Amino acid sequence: MQKDAKIYVAGHRGLVGSAIVRKLQSEGYTNLLLRTSTELNLTNQAAVQKFFSEEKPDYVFMAAARVGGILANNSYPADFIYDNLMIEANVINASYQSNVKKLLFLGSSCIYPKLATQPLKEDYLLTGSLEPTNEWYAIAKIAGIKLCQAFRRQYGCSYISVMPTNLYGPNDNFDLETSHVLPALLRKFHEAKINGQSNVTVWGTGTPVREFLYVDDLADACLFLMQHYSEEGIVNIGTGVGLTIRELAQKIKMVVGFEGELLFDVTKPDGTPIKINDVSLLRSLGWEAKTDLDSGLRLTYEWYKNQYK
């Protein structure tokens, strides 16, 4: 990509989009197209087509999505599948119509079957049943992958799809009803410390194993792949290293400085038992994550404290 190329980052105020913007700006890309959801409703096909025909971006980072944790996915299944299907279909089709040179679509590791062999390889896609607590989101993301592959096959479009593992970092969602596990725990421990609580309760048994990637590392990987990869096959992005939710909670407890007790509500769902991305393909291309979990947690907590004083 030329430094003055017109680059549209869809979802630029979210966790992933904002990290991609930071990365692009730090690398000297100066011509970024950014629109808030009030300025451009991506579920509105006519509005999206008008934007693309007028602005004609050269490159697209497709980071816009409706996202959330187990509670949000279970509570709003229609919103999760409809909004994500509409957003990706509108942006991908408009990219084709306006001759976008290359598009990167961000999926999620939840696209893989619930009981797939670990670690998760790219070719496990569509080989088994999904995790029921987030199948609405997963099905929408699978449709986005297939859209990219279909436009590549039929029209020769250079559209690629990447599957990040669980993400965290600045601009994450810390709402306890709709957030993912890491930001939810960070907020819970912070508020428990401030309020002098004697304990913090974590959903589930604490035994599920998860992998976490600092979002600025993801942005670095996305730019790397936009520059060095153009194949139909999806690419996992992650660290390849997992830990239990109990271990994660203990790390966050230590970073926050909460000295109370850690409790587990076993009546709440655990989700997939283990979920770690196989990142062999990405490593073979020449990219590896740089930020270890302890460092990333400290950076995220400092950002959270400054943001929510």
The sign of the dihedral angle between the CA atoms of 103, 148, 107, 275 is: negative
For residue 23, give the H/E element and its range. helix 15-26
Domains and CATH numbers, the chain: 7-172+212-240+275-291 (3.40.50.720)
Q: Assign 159 to helix, strand or coil.
A: strand
- Residue 138 Cα distances to 67, 109, 165, 218, 236, angstroms: 10, 9, 13, 19, 15
pTM of the shown model: 0.94
**Tokens 């076993």 — which residue?**
266
Dihedral pair phi/psi, residue 229, rounded to 5°: -135, 135
Taking only the tens place, the pLDDT of each residue in 129-179 is 998 888 999 999 999 999 999 999 999 999 999 999 999 999 998 988 778
In terms of Cα–Cα distance, which of 174, 196, 141, 170 is closest to 69? 174
Amino acid symbol at 26: S
Give the distance from CA 42 to its chain's centroid: 18
Please list the residues that pair with 166 across neighbouring strands: 212
Q: How much is the pLDDT for 144?
A: 98
As annotated, the active-site residues are: 137
Taking only the tens place, the pLDDT of each residue in 212-269 is 999 999 999 999 999 999 999 999 999 999 999 999 999 999 999 999 999 999 999 8
Whole-angstrom distance, CA of residue 69 vs CA of residue 75:
10
Taking only the tens place, the pLDDT of each residue in 24-68 is 999 999 999 999 999 999 999 999 999 999 999 999 999 999 987
In contact, 272 and 131? CB cutoff 8 Å: yes
β-strands 159-164, 209-210 pairing: unpaired
Whole-angstrom distance, CA of residue 198 vs CA of residue 45:
51
Cα-based torsion angle of the residue sequence 252, 26, 63, 188 in order, rounded to the nearest 10 degrees: 20
CB burial class (10 A; 0-12, 13-18, 19+) of residue 88? buried
